[in-house]
Chains A and B, each alone.
Chain A
Amino acid sequence: MAGTADLLRIRGLSTQFVTEEGQINAVNDISLTIGQGEIVSIVGESGSGKSVTGRSLMDLIEPPGTIVAGEIWYRSSELAATVDDETAVDGEYVDLRALPPAVRQSLRGTAFSIIFQDPGSSFNSSLTVGRQIAEAVEANRRIKAGQSYGTLDLLRDIVTPNRSFVSEESYDRAVELLERVDIPDPANRAEEYPHQFSGGMLQRAMIAQALAADPTFLVADEPTTGLDVTIQSGIMGLLEELQRDLDMSILLITHNLGVVSRLADRTAVMYAGELFEVGPTEKVLNEPANPYTKGLLNSLPDVTDPSAQIEPITGNVPSLLDHEMPVGCSFADRCPAATDDCRSAPPPVRPVNGDATHRVACVHAGSDGGEHLTEPVGSGPTVTDIEVPTGVSNE
């Protein structure tokens, strides 16, 4: 379902962490396009940087991490109208990273929402679930109404006991949201604490909380990991239903290729902070071009065909330390098809079988016509290259 127009165009996003051992390039020059109402997944193993990408989009990177480069073009005409800085606007698109922090933060929880893998540690254990969702509803209502909430307002709320941050309506809206995500007996459950919920139920409550301001874009960071099979299926069904009803774009971050097959329209395979292959999920999983994607698929036992032998990828994930990063392709020393040109220069980006919507970053993959695409591997389905204000190339 190629998006009628792209909601988000991420160009050259890089996030680094400064640690004692050295600088870690968790996300290294990532470009990815997400269409309106489209589910795009980032698939990768632990240490690939997929979670950091999601959090960077939500501007949730805290020291010792920083977003060092990249632009995040977000299509919103009314936001573009309010921005006066020329370089930050391109038609309907606004570069979020060029916006002042206050404006950028106002998008969190209104235009953008995020859900996490472990709901148990993402809820405050000393507040009831209903109250926390009501707080999200209230926060968004105030942001949309342009009200700020400073320390003085906080003091006033603390001093006057009956006044509280959460209004009556937002609490009712919270109970409605719980009902919307099929939590039985929502009124009572709203008064219970997070530790009284089962894993699956708490994950649904978190999805309810993310819907507090019916956002246009949802980052789902491993939403089904650690859940039982039937509950996982329930959560996936809920995400499908919400995406259909609210025409919401979802960035699905996971390591489970099954979840990707069921939910994602397009899939990006990520390894050691870089995107190796991006395209329609059907193409990426059935006609994998990058050796790493092939390796991932071959190491999965197939529940329908037990006799299929699995071939693991030898070796271990490289450390993302800057001084240890190889010049060429970071998968070279584990890749069965590696040659010298893999190690000498970063892999070029090429379409697979001539289809520009399915791109691969690999010397030995893609149509052998030697046709290099200037657009990075994560660019969107629309083949026509849009004029990007600042010249971006993959090198």
Chain B
Amino acid sequence: MSNDLSLSDGSVGEPASSVGSEPPTELLRVSGLQKHYLDTPGLLDRLFDTDTERVRAVDGVSFSIDRGETLGVVGESGCGKSTLARTLLGLHEPTAGRVELVGRDVHEWIQTNRKGFTRQAQFVFQDPSSCLDPRLTLREIIREPLEIHDIGAIDHQNAIVEELVKKVGLSVDQLDRYPGELSGGQRQRVGIARALGLDPQLLILDEPTSALDVSVQAQILNLLKEIQVEFDLTFLLISHDLSVIRYLCDRVAVMYLGEVVEIGPTEAVFEQTRHPYTQALLESVPQVGAFDIEYEEIDPDIPSPRNPPAGCRFHTRCPDVIPPAGYDLPQQQWLSIFEYKLDIQSGRLTAEKLADMAERNALNVDDEKALTTFLRASYGIPDSLRDPTAQSHLDDSLHALVAGETDTARECVVEHFVSPCESETPAVTAIAPTHEVHCHLVERSTE
């Protein structure tokens, strides 16, 4: 199912900051990367645990980053962005797919020459209170990578440390203090100084400022901008904060349940997005200082990555889900029918539960008519639909459910109300040379 995304070669637009130097502009290429977790810890449990559930944290992700560029990865918790970042650095074993840094296969590079690889790519962590060893002084923390790679003698290392600590905006006399004596922002600066110690080409930042206060976050964001230019760094920034992504990133990838649903230049994705999920994300961010916005919400229940929905994984929450062919229905009517179908299919709605709800709303359980109207009301389905065939199928299902046969109600709905978004995985549609979207709706509109 992993479609190999072949990005158009050649320089992808002038990277924002650094000058195009001789070596190839592409630094990192990821193709069809997958990372699945088996859900069974320990020896004994394998003996007695039969079902081996697989959590598909990263499920076929492909993209590339050019030298000096900042690619942002945004998405909600459970979308796999953090797992992606850690798999890229070899902290997790990839289940499938390939990652290449400066043209060399990362997985193989780590097996053969781990230290060589770590000289190229480094990591900045989210939680400032847990990314520094509490028992070491700042000098020892920042010098440690230099010691491990025995870069020069002790005094040469100390010189580098002192220079690094000034670069990240701390003073040299703080070097002999312990992390416990510093504020969150200062500790994050030490983390950055440490990552710069090995002079890497790629810096992966996992939510670098989400644990910090607003004013401290601003200091760190500006610091990151400065060091990117000064150390000629390429960034991969993981964040759930769209304003941070907009501020720092040249390009951005939007992830949902282990897949990249949209990738492109930040400007294009933020201003002319075509993917319903990205639109929903952008619309739910409360605007500072804007007061007349009508915020509309999508279904807040995020499916679990253990068994993601089939086809386009966003179809269970997508306001623009495509109705089945052959029905002429306004989108709102179709959406309420679809929600009813999903509830029945997933078992959230059964005859017993309906009776229970009816009882709680003081309805007579055997009065079928009352129950049907109650059902229609709770899903916002109007009494008469514009499309007669849809109307009859729906009525059959409702009557079956009200009469207590949940199974017949389910078969009827599953058979007649299948959205294309459920059946096939959306192919890639390039709505601009470097702006791709995985969405059936967009695919159809560009044909």
Which of under 10, 10 to 19, 20 to 34, or 35 or more describes the interface residues of A? 35 or more
Tell me if B76 and A306 are in contact (CB < 8 A).
Answer: no
Q: List residues of A (217-249) whose CB comes within 8 Å of B's CBs.
A: 228-234, 236-237
Residues from 360 to 382 in B contacting A, C-beta threshold 8 Å: 360
**A195 to B302 alpha-carbon distance, docked (Å):** 16
**Chain B, interface residues (CB within 8 Å), range:** 35 or more
Selected contact of A262 from candidates B217, B219, B247, B286, CB within 8 Å: B286
B64 to chain A minimum Cβ distance, whole angstroms, is 22
Contact with B along A46-78 (1 / 0, CB 8 A): 100000000000000000000000000000000
CA distance A233 to B294 in the complex (A): 11
Does B298 sit within 8 A of A, measured CB to CB? yes
With A302-B288, A310-B247 as known contacts, state yes or no: A230 contacts B218, CB within 8 Å. no
Q: Give B274-333 interface residues, CB cut-off 8 Å to A.
A: 280-291, 293, 295, 297-298, 300-302
Contact B291 A261 (CB under 8 A): yes
Contacts of B356 in A (CB 8 A): 187
Contact indicator per residue, chain B 345-360, by CB within 8 Å of chain A (1) or not (0): 0001100010011001
Contact A310 to B298, CB < 8 A, known contacts A185-B353, A230-B76: no
Q: Are B301 and A258 in contact (CB under 8 A)?
A: no
Contacts A185-B348, A234-B297; A258 near B302 (Cβ below 8 A): no
B256-273 contacts to A (CB < 8 Å): 266-267, 270
Residue of B whose beta carbon sits closest to that of A182: B300
B287 to A304, Cβ gap below 8 A? yes
B243 within 8 A of A: yes
For residue A366, CB closer than 8 A to chain B, the reply is: no
Decide: B290 and A261 in contact? CB cutoff 8 A.
yes
Q: Report whether A187 and B76 are in contact in the complex, using a CB–CB cutoff of 8 Å.
A: no
Tell me if B288 and A257 are in contact (CB < 8 A): yes
The verdict on A237 contacting B297 (CB below 8 Å), with A299-B214, A312-B222, A313-B215 known, is yes
Using Cβ atoms and an 8 Å threshold, which residues of chain A touch B287?
258, 261-262, 303-304
Contacting residues, chain B, for A46 (C-beta < 8 A): 213
Within 8 A of A (CB), among B152-203: 183, 185-186
Q: Name the B residues within 8 Å of A187 (CB-CB).
A: 353, 356-357, 360
Chain B positions within 8 Å of A302 at CB level: 243, 246-247, 288
User: Which residues of B235-259 have CB atoms within 8 Å of chain A's CB atoms?
Assistant: 240, 242-244, 246-247
A297 in the interface (beta carbon within 8 A): yes
- Cα of A176 to Cα of B219 in the assembled complex, Å: 47
Q: CA–CA, A310 to B225, complex, Å?
A: 11
Q: How far is the CB of A65 from chain B (nearest CB, A)?
A: 22
- Contact present for A45 and B183 (CB under 8 Å): no
Q: Which B residues lie at the A interface, using CB under 8 A?
A: 76-77, 183, 185-186, 213-219, 221-222, 240, 242-244, 246-247, 266-267, 270, 280-291, 293, 295, 297-298, 300-302, 343, 348-349, 353, 356-357, 360
User: Contacts A199-B77, A233-B284, A299-B215 given; 7 further ones with Cβ under 8 A?
Assistant: A179-B357, A229-B285, A231-B76, A232-B286, A256-B286, A258-B288, A301-B243
3 cross-chain pairs, A with B, having the tightest CB-CB distances, nearest first: A299-B218, A258-B286, A233-B284
